[in-house]
Homo-oligomer: A and B are copies of this chain.
Amino acid sequence: MPALDAGIAGVSRSEIVAASRIIQGRARVTPLLESGTLNARTGGRVLIKPECLQRTGSFKFRGAYNRLAAIPAEDRAGGVVAWSSGNHAQGVACAARLFGMPATIVMPNDAARIKVAGVRHFGAEIVFYDRQTEGREARGTEVLGERGGTFVHPYDDPFVVAGQGTAGLEAAHQMRARDVIPDIALVPCGGGGLVSGVTIGLRSEFPDIDVRSVEPAVHDDMARSLADGRRVAADEGVATICDSLLPPQVGDIAFEVGTKCLGPGLVVSDAEVLEAIAFSLLRLKLVVEPGGAAAMAAALAGRIELRDKTALLVLSGGNADPAMLARALAETGEAAVGRT
């Protein structure tokens, strides 16, 4: 493994420790949960980090708050601009309100309603765009040009990655407190901010841990980039329920961390994700959104062998619309009840 104390792409344990101090008292310390049923299903010991219980309903608040905290006082009045399918949007909107900064968020017009409502709740202005006809970065850059202010990248920013990494370092400390040494960690991957930050955080405590990214099978750019050793873009216009895992490609930071530290990428189907959502609802009593359930889906579908292993599984978000939860319950809920 690389000398992580030197850091990768500008993020090391010390940036994550600093971020932990900055978000303390603002972000929540999410618990580390365990399920006898999940252990039995996988044949291993699975520890769950439910970031769906994080402020704003996803891990994104960690990185957004850490990034906004780094904005110089004289620039705060200028506000922030961000683009996001909804979780980074809520993280930025919530952090901006805490710092008393105006926020403008560029979101797709088909974003989950619960995410749109959350962003509005935090008082941010929303500019919608059409995913079918406009690129979000193009539209976002346009809005940034008009409004000015500080741009908060959803994943390819050292402060954002360090903030997301606090979820990994926090989980590492919680595992240490239980005398648990994890063999492997499964982390949902979109732009890669979470998986890269969590990898650096976990590796700084457990140098030998095998960390894997989990993506929708139809949007597997991290898996293919890791396999090819060069960053490839995701296929465009694919259909998947994992709305929070669809950036055009993984970030520079995530690709660098990935090539140096991640094992082969894992992928899951929408059907596997729906089963994971129903399993989380009925067994764990947790609400997880499609993208947030990707790692759970990989574990339940046996996309990787967890027998006799100790695994950390990140449930990255819980902002699912009622219709999506109802669909998961209708399609796989009854089977999940009977299955023990």
Contact = CB atoms under 8 A, between A and B. Distances in A.
A205 B116 CA distance: 42
Interface string A117-159: 1101100000000000000000000000000000000000000
Nearest to A30: B31
A72 interface: no
A180 to B, nearest CB: 14
Contacts of A321: 337
A322 B278 contact: yes
Contacts of A121: 37, 340
A36 B122 CA distance: 11
Interface stretch (A189-197, A216-224, A281-289): A281-289
A261 B50 CA distance: 36
Given A31-B31, A53-B33, A329-B325, A337 B114 contact: yes
B285 A281 contact: no
A113 interface: yes
Copies in the complex: 2
A337 to B, nearest CB: 5
Nearest to A34: B28
Given A53-B33, A285-B52, A286-B285, A117 B338 contact: yes
A57 interface: yes
Interface bin, chain A = 35 or more
A307 B313 CA distance: 38
A318 B285 contact: yes
B55 A36 contact: yes
Interface string A311-340: 000000010011001100110011011101
A38 to B, nearest CB: 13
A120 B340 CA distance: 9
Nearest to A336: B322
A281 B281 CA distance: 9
A36 B120 CA distance: 15
A100 to B, nearest CB: 16
A114 B340 CA distance: 10
Interface string A187-231: 000000000000000000000000000000000000000000000
24 contacts: A31-B53, A33-B53, A37-B121, A50-B285, A53-B285, A57-B285, A113-B337, A113-B338, A117-B337, A117-B340, A118-B340, A285-B286, A285-B287, A285-B288, A286-B287, A321-B337, A322-B333, A322-B336, A322-B337, A325-B329, A325-B333, A326-B329, A326-B330, A326-B333
